[in-house]
Chains A and B, each alone.
Chain A
Amino acid sequence: MKASDAIVKCLEMEGTDVIFGYPGAAVIDIYESLQVSPIKHVLVRNEQSVVHYASGYARETGKVGVCIVTSGPGATNTITGIATAYMDSIPVVVITGQVNTNLIGTDAFQEADMKGATQPFTKHNYLVQDATQLPKILKEAFFIANTGRKGPVLVDIPKDMQEQKIAFDYKDKVDIIGYKPTVKGHAGQIKRAIQRIKAAKRPVIYAGGGILSSGAKEGILIFAEKTGIPVINSLMGVGGFPQDHPLYAGIVGSHGYAYSNEIIGKTDLLITIGARMSNRSTTGFYKLNPEIEFIHVDIDPAEIGKNRGYTLPIVGDAKVVLRSLIEKAEQMDFTAWIDEIQELKDHHAPASQESAPNGYIHPVDIIRYLSDNTEEDACLVADVGQNQIWSALNYQLRKDRKFLTSGGLGTMAYSLPAAIGVKIANPDRQVICVIGDGGIQMCIGELAVAREQNAGVKIILLNNGKLGLVREMQQDIFGKGHTAAIDLNYQVQFPKIAEAYSMNGFEVSSFDEFQKVLDQVLKNDEPCLIQCNIHPDTRTLP
């Protein structure tokens, strides 16, 4: 079998039904082999977006997202996407073409050392030097990407390796001597955790993205309800616990809820599950009493104790560990603590929304209206910047709703391709993309993909003519009135751009207009763009 045919066959056997890619000379054989495969190929418009598409697909399906790009610039363009997936632990296999093996190291046309370049931010990577090893390498790549702490794996395949004839032998099982993730939590540690819970007065579960990636949404709900312990989310954990639940206690972090950060300061037992204690999430943790009990559950042992000491580590998969905890857990009575949390919540209740000046809409009104009017299984994909914070804090995640964003690397231009990836993976889901005028201009070509694929993503463009979050930082650090290099002075007519891509574009400058347009566009499943004019001085922080 030709090796390129074998590559495609491996992808089929891994259950891949969609590939996001951008062809070129170094992957021309793989593309030829794809012609006769049932796998659907989505041609993206820039390789930076390609991994974000695959990320959206992976986060929607639970499968590994796959993308293929050519060597050199095609491959180097994927670097931001790969680093984004690495920071957020998203399973993606990136196949890059490489120049012929005899040219490697000669600075040949379109040559780039992708194995070297991506070593710091891939979970693992390969440079194929023996075509007969291709099936084994691809099997390993999928296995590594989607087990343990999930993440991106890159397979760099020289063109001459794709051309060779090999015997196709695809093993069912993978055995890598140096890679044996611990999935099951240590029984003794589980027992000790239960004892600590029984002794606690004010326990809190701090749940991160690991809840979502291990499929532990149901498990954490059962565990919280069985023990009566309140749950706080990190930004990546948003959507992992229903926000209309009495035990929900908000979002922590530099841009989280003030009351959630207060709760952290009062707890005597912190149970962290699938959260890596990132510097951005744990800004409120300075209030944490150093004497508290701290149980840290994580599939990645290196996360335990990295940023903060622990008193009880449990290495294991969130879903599996929660199952063990549920078995041993007993109904506890933390009513007094829950009441105290409720008081904090009431005390910090958001003040009634300030009205936007004439000719503008307040972004919080937009997100709350989306929250009230989108479906109970809608997926909101937020970009990075002010739009992300307004979305995370005001869109209520209940029932089967999803919230996706680039939490770790904070990559602008993530949301549009990721949202289209979600929609392609699951056309039945209502998908909302919230993005700023800075972010969309980094990936505007991807509008073509939404149109071409009939991916009915509703793009809510919060347009303030500024890099809003940078402006806030400048003013907070250097004083009022100080801004530099954040004006997107040339005002783009985004609805006209949408129309140029044959999709409906709207511009709204009042909340009434927004309501009318949104009500109208939610009735169909067509992609569209709504430019919402936001006053440039609107802040995320009070």
Chain B
Amino acid sequence: MKKHVLSLLVENNSGVLSRIAGLFSRRCFNIDSLTVGTTEDEALSRMTIVVTGDEQTLEQIKKQLNKLVEVIKVVELEPIESISRELVFIKVKADNATRSNVIEISNIFRANIVDVAKESLILELTGDGVKIEAFMELMEPYGVLEFIRSGATGLQRGSVVLKEK
């Protein structure tokens, strides 16, 4: 079973998100992550949905999404022909003894320090899933207090755009 990243152009109406999420749940397709935001046209939103499944499941997901009246376009983002990123905030223990080590690793990963306290730091990192996993692993020994990941968001490379039908 493979991870697939879907990019959707949808109408920006109330209830669209629940209609799409509902479609996944009633057909027992699991959403790994979902991000959504408006586009350059305020009447439209763009969603990035990461799902895990075989080819047949993926085909059904795409066809069922296309059936929804408010869904304008669905494309699968192929890893080579697209870019996708996640955002993560990590609150990690950092006192006088460990703070410089944490900052050093953060610099290597180009993570931003967005909050400093006596006993902790909050780090902000953007990247693909593998980079984020690697960073988390290195932070683990210092004591990760909590973290939040945004889910992937992505675009096709080059001048290709997800246009209205």
Q: A168-207 CB contact bits vs B (8 Å, 1 = yes)?
A: 0000000011111000000000000000000000000000
Near A by CB (< 8 A), chain B positions 69-94 give 69-72
Q: Which A residues lie within 8 Å of B71 (CB)?
A: 178
Contact in complex: B15, A115 (CB < 8 Å): yes
Q: How far is the CB of A136 from chain B (nearest CB, A)?
A: 13
Give bound CA distance, A180 to B70, whole Å.
11
Q: Is A238 positioned at the interface, with any CB of B under 8 Å from its CB?
A: no
Contact in complex: B69, A178 (CB < 8 Å): yes
Q: Is A305 positioned at the interface, with any CB of B under 8 Å from its CB?
A: yes
Q: In this complex, what residue of A is CB-closest to B68?
A: A178
Q: Which of A58-66, A116-124, A325-333, A473-481 contacts B (4 or more CB under 8 A)?
A: A116-124
Contact in complex: A305, B59 (CB < 8 Å): yes
Q: Is A367 positioned at the interface, with any CB of B under 8 Å from its CB?
A: no
Q: Which A residues lie within 8 Å of B40 (CB)?
A: none
Q: B1-38 CB contact bits vs A (8 Å, 1 = yes)?
A: 00000000011001100110011001000000000000
Give bound CA distance, A120 to B22, whole Å.
7
Contact in complex: B19, A301 (CB < 8 Å): no
Q: How far is the CB of B51 from chain A (nearest CB, A)?
A: 16
Q: How far is the CB of A206 from chain B (nearest CB, A)?
A: 21
Contact in complex: A302, B64 (CB < 8 Å): yes
Q: Is B165 positioned at the interface, with any CB of A under 8 Å from its CB?
A: yes
B10, B15, B22 — most chain A CB neighbours (10 Å): B15
Contact in complex: A178, B26 (CB < 8 Å): no
Q: Which A residues lie within 8 Å of B18 (CB)?
A: 116, 119
Contact in complex: B66, A301 (CB < 8 Å): yes
Q: Is B164 positioned at the interface, with any CB of A under 8 Å from its CB?
A: yes
Contact in complex: B15, A127 (CB < 8 Å): yes
Contact in complex: B60, A177 (CB < 8 Å): no
Give bound CA distance, A179 to B11, whole Å.
11
* Contacts A177-B72, A177-B164 given; does A306 touch B66 at CB 8 Å: no
Q: Is B131 positioned at the interface, with any CB of A under 8 Å from its CB?
A: no
* Contacts A116-B18, A119-B19 given; does A124 touch B69 at CB 8 Å: yes
Give bound CA distance, A120 to B64, whole Å.
12
Q: Is B63 positioned at the interface, with any CB of A under 8 Å from its CB?
A: yes
Give bound CA distance, A347 to B15, whole Å.
57
Near B by CB (< 8 A), chain A positions 115-162 give 115-116, 119-120, 123-124, 127, 129, 144
Q: How far is the CB of B70 from chain A (nearest CB, A)?
A: 6
Give bound CA distance, A177 to B163, whole Å.
11
Q: Which B residues lie within 8 Å of A129 (CB)?
A: 14
Contact in complex: B22, A144 (CB < 8 Å): no
Contact in complex: B67, A302 (CB < 8 Å): yes
Q: How far is the CB of B56 from chain A (nearest CB, A)?
A: 8
Q: How far is the CB of A82 from chain B (nearest CB, A)?
A: 15
Q: How far is the CB of A300 from chain B (nearest CB, A)?
A: 7
Contact in complex: B66, A177 (CB < 8 Å): no
Contact in complex: B22, A179 (CB < 8 Å): no
Q: Which B residues lie within 8 Å of A120 (CB)?
A: 22-23, 26
Contact in complex: A178, B59 (CB < 8 Å): no
Near B by CB (< 8 A), chain A positions 209-229 give none
Give bound CA distance, A139 to B28, whole Å.
33
Contact in complex: B69, A176 (CB < 8 Å): yes
B14, B15, B69, B72 — most chain A CB neighbours (10 Å): B69
Q: How far is the CB of B67 from chain A (nearest CB, A)?
A: 6
Give bound CA distance, A180 to B23, whole Å.
20
Near A by CB (< 8 A), chain B positions 130-146 give none
Near B by CB (< 8 A), chain A positions 80-134 give 115-116, 119-120, 123-124, 127, 129
Q: In this complex, what residue of B is CB-closest to A148?
A: B67
Q: A241-274 CB contact bits vs B (8 Å, 1 = yes)?
A: 0000000000000000000000000000000000
Q: How far is the CB of A441 from chain B (nearest CB, A)?
A: 31
Q: In this complex, what residue of A is CB-closest to B20?
A: A119
Q: In this complex, what residue of A is CB-closest to B67?
A: A302
Contact in complex: B15, A178 (CB < 8 Å): no
Give bound CA distance, A305 to B63, whole Å.
11
Give bound CA distance, A176 to B165, whole Å.
10
Instruction: Report which of B10, B23, B69 forms a contact with A179, defined as CB distance below 8 A.
Output: B69
Q: Which B residues lie within 8 Å of A302 (CB)?
A: 60, 63-64, 66-67
B23, B164, B165 — most chain A CB neighbours (10 Å): B165
Interface residues of A (CB under 8 A from B): 115-116, 119-120, 123-124, 127, 129, 144, 176-180, 300-302, 305-306
| CB<8 Å pairs between A and B, sample of 14 | A115-B15, A116-B15, A123-B69, A124-B69, A177-B11, A177-B72, A178-B11, A178-B68, A178-B69, A178-B71, A301-B66, A302-B60, A302-B67, A305-B59
